[in-house]
Structure 1
Amino acid sequence: MTTSIDNPAKPEFASHRSYWDNFARRVRHERRYVWDDHVKAFVATVLATLKDRDVALKRGQIFLRAQRGIEYVAFKRNGPEEPSGYGRERMKPRRFKSTEGRANAVGVPVLYLGTSVKSVVSEVRPWVGAEISVAHFKLKRRLRALDLTRGHNKSTINYVFKAVMNGEASLTPEMREDAVWIDIDNAFSKPVTLSDDAADYVPTQILAEVFRDAGYDALVYRSQFGEGANIVLFNPDDADITACAPYRVTAFEVSCEKMGNSWYKAKKKTKKTAAKNAKRGTTAPKTV
């Protein structure tokens, strides 16, 4: 655990683990609303190292949003009811009653969007056969967005290994900065589940407010579900719904790879084996 403090004046992070040790752990489990010097220095250093991460979202750009469920509507008078996407009000977050997410606290509405149907449908954790509404949102004005995608799918393991083997001083300031921003991107990109501890949201919620206060209208980060990016609009009224269609989930594709060694249970010692080992003067392996 790092005890050194980040330095926004240089600007320079004290450690490759500054996100976790100087910030995330502290705001989750120690101080959330009144920050200590470590958290203040970390936030200031983050703002001092943004370095050309601005991107412009153009007026008229189309993004997508998914919600579980659909409606059945009679499009013609006395006609049969047909599947339809939810209406405008249902597809936008409820004002003052929004649930929390990676970029917002309870009651603070933001608009979560995406760039592909597959990614936005996956974000709502559907099951095979689930019916999903997918809406098109059109930006009403040009927005200043912060691009967090540079660290997507990268790992800090090389920085960790070098720091463990040779000490933190073996990492250049640029290496520590890269590692911290990779951790920030991965924290926002981490899929949200119903079983998550509410405290897990706190670090990214705080950073989202910091970025909003710094003048950003939106955040861009990669989706963990296939190609595409996720977009967070801090003001849900910056986009209008132009269409909404019903979808049905037909299948899931799962891809996985082994990431560690297998463990094996030792064979149980039987009476026959014990007698044989006693005769040989040996003992059987202990049962795990």
Structure 2
Amino acid sequence: MDTDNPEKPEFASYRSYWDFAKRVRFQQRYVWDEHVKAFIATVLATLKDRDVLLRRGTVFFRAQRGIEYVRFRKHDPDEPSGYSAARMKPRPNRATEGRANASGVSVLYLGSTLQTVISEVRPWVGADISVAQLKLKRRLKVVDLSRGHGRSAFGSIPLGHFLQGTPLTLEQKEAAVWIDIDNGFSQPVTLSDDTADYVPTQILAEVFKNAGYDGIVYKSQFGEKGYNIALFNPDDANVINCAPYRVEGFEVSFDQIGNRWFVPKRTRSSKAKRKMAGSRRKAGK
């Protein structure tokens, strides 16, 4: 089986997401072949139990780099203030590239905590940040893409599959593919990214939107409790306040992701050979 089967539904491989990503990044992005169409249909067919309802009136956060200074009374000094409500919403038709939106397509990115949204804008120590609170205007149905966060699809596959070629079950392949989808959305976005990297998740975001969802929820890489929320319609939330913040410091965490290499030790015999070779060169002169 080399093509995903939405009728069953069953993914062809635990690597189906990466096969899809490779095709839309490097082969055909806008006109899908049968493999991409089958993958998309299988994703929709396996969406079960990922619906989340966000209640009307729920408040989330949104951060932007920078603040402004305003004078509240004529003779008072300028005071720091958060950006205006209009500036804290994405500009129509002028949005920059993101994990859930192509350039020009406005999506409202929110977060569940202050730490999450401030960290997501990649500030430096001493940076001034405007943070707004936004309230949902209606109940929204979103896709939960947080379940596989931080897990490895490869690590979820039984060792017997690689050693003895034991076939994977439908459930094992499905779990691995969704782990990859979840992690694809939670990868941090930086200005140095190749925007082609966003294409797979941008396509999936549009697929979810076309399927009737109002947005997606995915885990943030910054903080264990933080979530990101991307709303497909920026008008689904209103700015209710905004305040200025200053970044005072960072807590850095890290993991070694590969083996350490070492400079080979020089043996006594190799040192003697180099000394002898040096002596010969001098004698030759």
TM-score, normalised via structure 2 length: 0.92
- 1:136 match: 133
1:199 counterpart residue number = 196
What amino acid does structure 2 have at the position aligned with 1:273? K
Report the secondary structure of 1:180's partner residue. Answer: helix
Matched, 1:125 2:122: yes
Partner of 2:26: 29
Cα distance, 1:155 vs structure 2: 1.1
SS at match of 1:149: coil
Which residue pairs with 1:284 in the alignment?
Answer: none
Q: How far off is 1:82 after superposition?
A: 0.5
2:79 to 65, 78, 82: 82
Deviations 1:249-288 (A, max 9, x none): 000001123333211011357887243999xxxxxxxxxx
Work out whether residues 130 and 249 of structure 1, in 8 Å CA contact, stay in contact via their aligned partners in 2: yes
Aligned AA (2:89)? K
Give the structure 2 partner of residue 70 of structure 1: 67
Q: What is the CA–CA distance in structure 2 between the aligned matches of 1:20 and 1:274, rounded to whole Å?
A: 53
Q: Work out whether residues 159 and 171 of structure 1, in 8 Å CA contact, stay in contact via their aligned partners in 2.
A: no
Given that residues 98 and 109 in structure 1 are in contact (C-alpha distance below 8 angstroms), is that contact kept between their aligned partners in structure 2? yes
Deviation digits for residues 22-52 of structure 1 (CA, Å, limit 9, x no counterpart): x100000000000011100000000000011
Distance 1:277 1:88, change over 3 A: same
Q: Which letter does structure 1 place at the counterpart of 2:262?
A: Y
Match of 2:168 among 167, 171, 175: 171
Distance 2:202 2:274 in 1: 64
* Residue type at the aligned position of 2:15: R
Partners of 2:61 and 2:13 in 1: CA distance: 37
Partner of 1:151 in structure 2? Answer: 148
Query: Aligned AA for 2:98?
Result: G
Tell me the residue number matched to 1:241: 239
Q: Give the letter aligned to residue 192 of structure 2.
A: S
- The farther-off stretch of 37-46 and 158-167 is 158-167
The match for 1:58 is 55
- Superposed CA offset, 1:187-232 (max 9, x none): 0000001110010010000000000000000100000000210000
Query: Secondary structure of the equivalent of 2:180?
Result: helix
* TM-score, L = length of structure 1: 0.91
Between 1:155-164 and 1:197-206, the stretch displaced more is: 155-164
Equivalent residues in 2 for 1:203-214, closer than 5 Å: 203-214=200-211
8 Å CA contact retained: 1:144, 1:218: yes
The answer to whether structure 1 residue 96 and structure 2 residue 90 are counterparts is no
Structure 1 residue aligned with 2:248: 250
* SS of aligned partner of 2:25: helix
- The number of aligned residues is 274
Distance of 1:14 and 1:8 partners within structure 2: 10
Unaligned runs of 5+ in 1: 279-288
Distance 2:21 2:53 in 1: 29
Residue number in structure 2 paired with 1:40 = 37
The residue type equivalent to 1:233 in the other structure is L
CA distance in 2 between counterparts of 1:143 and 1:225 reads: 25
In structure 1, the partner of 2:282 is none
The letter of the residue matching 2:136 is: L
Deviation at 1:76, TM superposition (A): 2.2
Query: Which residue number corresponds to residue 16 of structure 1?
Result: 14
**1:49-92 deviation line (CA, Å, top 9, x unaligned):** 00111010110000000000000011223211100000011111
Structure 2: gaps of 5 or more residues? 277-285
AA of the residue aligned to 2:75: N
CA distance in 2, matches of 1:117, 1:18: 35
2:227 is matched with which residue: 210, 224, 229? 229
Partner of residue 285, structure 1: none
Among all aligned residue pairs of Structure 1 and Structure 2, give the percentage whose two residues are the same amino acid. 64
Report the 3-state secondary structure (helix = DSSP H, G, I; strand = E; otherwise coil) of the residue aligned with 1:183: helix
